[in-house]
Amino acid sequence: MTHARLTVEADGGSRGNPGHAGYGAVVRDASGAIIAERAGYLGFVTNNVAEYNGLIAGLEAAIAVDPDAAIAVRMDSKLVVEQMNGRWQVKHPDMKPLAARARDLASGHTVSYEWIPREHNTAADALANEAMDSRNPAISRDHGTTGPGVGPEYDDPEPKPTPKAKSIRELYARELVSTLSLVLVRHGVTDMTVAHKLSGSGVTGPPLNAAGRVQAAHAADGVYRIGRDTWHTLAPVSRVLASPMRRTQDTADAVGRRLGLTPILDERAREVDFGDWEGLTAQEALERDGDLIRQWDRGDVPAPGGESLTDVVRRMGTFIAELAAEHARACAAEDVPRTIAVVSHSVAIKSLVAAALDFPPVSVARIWPNPASITVLQLRVTPEGEIAEGHLLALGIPTS
Mean pLDDT of the 95-113 span: 92
Is 114 a catalytic site residue?
no
Per the DSSP assignment, residues forming a β-bridge with 344 are 186
Least confident window among 204-213, 232-241, 254-263, 382-391: 382-391
Q: How many residues does the chain have?
A: 400
Which of 9, 51, 271, 384 is catalytic? The answer is 271
pLDDT for res 18? 67
The three-state secondary structure class of 9 is: strand
Mean pLDDT of the 101-127 span: 92
What is the b/e burial string over 97-128, where b = at least 16 CB atoms within 10 angstroms of the residue's CB? ebbebbeebbeeeebebebeeeeebeebbebb
Assign a CATH topology to domain 5-165. Nucleotidyltransferase; domain 5 (3.30.420)
Distances (CA, A) of 14 to 43, 76, 164, 195, 303: 9, 14, 14, 42, 30
Task: Categorize the per-residue pLDDT at 337 as very low, low, confident or very high, splitting at 50, 70 and 90.
Answer: low
pLDDT for res 144? 60
Per DSSP, which regions of the chain are E strands?
5-15, 19-28, 34-45, 70-75, 111-115, 139-142, 178-186, 239-242, 264-265, 338-344, 374-381, 387-397
Angle (CA) 389 181 225, round 5° = 150
Mean pLDDT of the 134-138 span: 85
Mean pLDDT of the 363-378 span: 90
Q: Where, residue-wise, is CATH 3.30.420.10 in the chain?
A: 5-165
Task: Please give the distance of CA 16 from its chain centroid, rounded to a whole number.
Answer: 12
Q: Is the pLDDT of residue 384 over 90?
A: no
Least confident window among 27-31, 183-187, 240-244: 27-31
pLDDT for res 162? 38
Least confident window among 162-171, 209-218, 332-341, 343-352: 162-171
Pick 381 or 225 by higher pLDDT.
Answer: 225
Mean pLDDT of the 340-365 span: 91
Mean pLDDT of the 129-144 span: 86
Question: Which of these, 97, 233, 94, lies nearest to 167 by C-alpha position?
Answer: 94
Task: Categorize the per-residue pLDDT at 172 as very low, low, confident or very high, splitting at 50, 70 and 90.
Answer: very low
Are the CB atoms for 127 and 24 separated by under 8 Å? yes
Q: Is the pLDDT of residue 295 over 60?
A: yes
The domain 171-397: what is its CATH number? 3.40.50.1240
pLDDT for res 46? 82
DSSP for residue 227: T
Read off the pLDDT of residues 212-250 as tens digits, 9 standing for 90 and up.
Answer: 999 999 999 999 999 898 888 888 999 999 999 999 999
Read off the pLDDT of residues 143-160 as tens digits, 9 standing for 90 and up.
Answer: 864 443 333 333 333 444
Least confident window among 19-33, 240-254, 321-335: 321-335
Which of 3, 187, 327, 345 is catalytic? The answer is 187
pLDDT for res 366? 81
Averaged pLDDT score across all residues of the chain: 87
Is 327 a catalytic site residue?
no
pLDDT for res 83? 92
